[in-house]
């Protein structure tokens, strides 16, 4: 799948980390795939097994193939409700095309990609 990190969100909002395009948005709204203008693919997957909720407690503010700018609101989710129903909100963020780059590293909260 690719290299990545996992974060435990403190707010139930996902913002675009870069300018790019929405290349996948699952109907359950718990995961989104973006591709930036340089071709880097990024998957943001909220929680574990949250697909089981069929979109309950999630809201999407973008659509498939939509162009986004860094800072645009992409998704929101109800952290308290997810936790109360037994779901973790730990969110993997994965570079989906890691193999296309000579190195992908994580330093000081930033992702560094070398071509």
30 is catalytic: no
Task: Tell me what percent of the residues of the chain surpass a pLDDT of 90.
Answer: 78
**What's the pLDDT tens digit per position in 74-101?**
999 999 999 999 999 999 999 999 888 8
Q: Choosing from 4, 25, 42, 45, which is the catalytic residue?
A: 45
**What's the pLDDT tens digit per position in 13-41?**
999 999 999 999 999 999 999 999 999 99
46 is in which domain, residue-wise?
4-114
Region of residue 83 (left: phi > 0; alpha: psi -120 to 50; beta: else): alpha
Number of domains in the chain: 1
CATH, residue 44: 2.70.70.10
């Amino acid at each position: 799948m690719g290299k990545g990190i996992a974060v435990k969100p403190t707010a139930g909002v996902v913002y675009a980390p870069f300018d790019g395009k929405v290349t996948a948005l699952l109907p359950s709204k718990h995961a989104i795939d973006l591709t930036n203008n340089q071709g880097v693919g990024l998957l943001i997957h909220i929680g574990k097994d949250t697909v089981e909720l069929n979109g309950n407690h999630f809201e999407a503010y973008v659509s498939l193939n939509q162009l986004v700018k860094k800072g645009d609101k992409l998704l929101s989710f109800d952290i308290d409700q997810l936790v109360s129903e037994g779901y973790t909100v730990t969110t993997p963020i994965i570079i989906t095309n890691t193999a296309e780059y000579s190195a992908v590293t994580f330093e000081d909260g930033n992702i560094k990609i070398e071509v």
